[in-house]
Amino acid sequence: MVAITTSPPSTLSLQSCNHSIVVNGLCLSCHQRMPDNYGVAFDYIFEGLRLSLDEIARLKVTNSNKAFGQKKLHLVLDLDHTLLHTKAFEMLTPDELYLKEQTDSDTSNGSLFVFEHHYLVKLRPFVRTFLKEVSSMFHIYVCSTGSRFYVKKLAKFLDPEGNYFHTRLIACEDLGQRVRKSLNLVLSQQRDIVIVDDTQSVWSDYLDNLITVKRYKYFTDHDGNSNSKSYAEMKTDESESEGELVNVLGVLRRIHGWFFDTVMDVKDVRNLTF
């Protein structure tokens, strides 16, 4: 994602170096030691990477233009309640315990998995087809308030061969433990980024980029807002052919078509009504 080139220290003075790319505290161009808080951390790309504000701005434009040449936009996806639902074993209701004996071992085809020996992970119906289809139109990021360990592990269930997300997994460590999410770490211009999330409030600064989806709740909801039986208790699920992700895929196709088929000087997904 980030093309890194270096120049020998002898050919580059400290005065002329922009310190665009810093890894583990050292500028890759001039090898000068930089402050720990220099620039912005991009550890999700690789550990210890920091980019200057100018380099971030340059990369956002460069990556957008490169994506346009491929007829692609950028898509930021939430994990929990958008693409999947996770539940701790001890929180399962008596009518959901049967699921512990029905988990899948094949991550390329299954939909119900055990995570860290104590959790069940249920993929949303249609999610595999959804990811395959949108990957032909978008470069896909994941942005979650979960830990990096959690996000990486769950992404493996969705993308076991690494075809869709690559290193584009933004976790709470990247967001600075904040409750709200940000597009600052997405290396593309805001005008070509679409967000899909079940929670609107975490994207309050980016509502024009957001498609809000119905929460996927496969297991019983313990937040006190529902007395109805869960999909798991009823041994059913959201529709594979008419569910939320099918509808979202249709919207994303229309956005992509408008962006690349409409003749305009400057196109911006924020001008659309999702």
What is the rounded CA–CA span in Å between residue 8 and residue 30?
A: 7
pLDDT at 225 over 60: no
pLDDT at 2: 52
Cβ atoms 246, 256 nearer than 8 A: no
What's the rounded mean pLDDT across residues 148-157? 96
pTM above 0.85, yes or no: yes
- CA dihedral of residues 50, 209, 85, 142 (deg, nearest 10): -20
pLDDT at 16 over 90: no
What's the rounded mean pLDDT across residues 191-208? 97
3-class DSSP state of 117: coil
Tell me the pLDDT tens digit for each residue of 24-55.
999 999 999 999 999 999 999 999 999 999 99
pLDDT at 11 over 60: no
Tell me the pLDDT tens digit for each residue of 65-95.
999 999 999 999 999 999 999 999 999 999 9
Supply angle C-alpha 136, 79, 70, rounded to 5.
20
pLDDT at 9 over 50: no
pLDDT at 6 over 50: no
pLDDT at 248 over 50: yes
What is the rounded CA–CA span in Å between residue 10 and residue 5?
A: 15
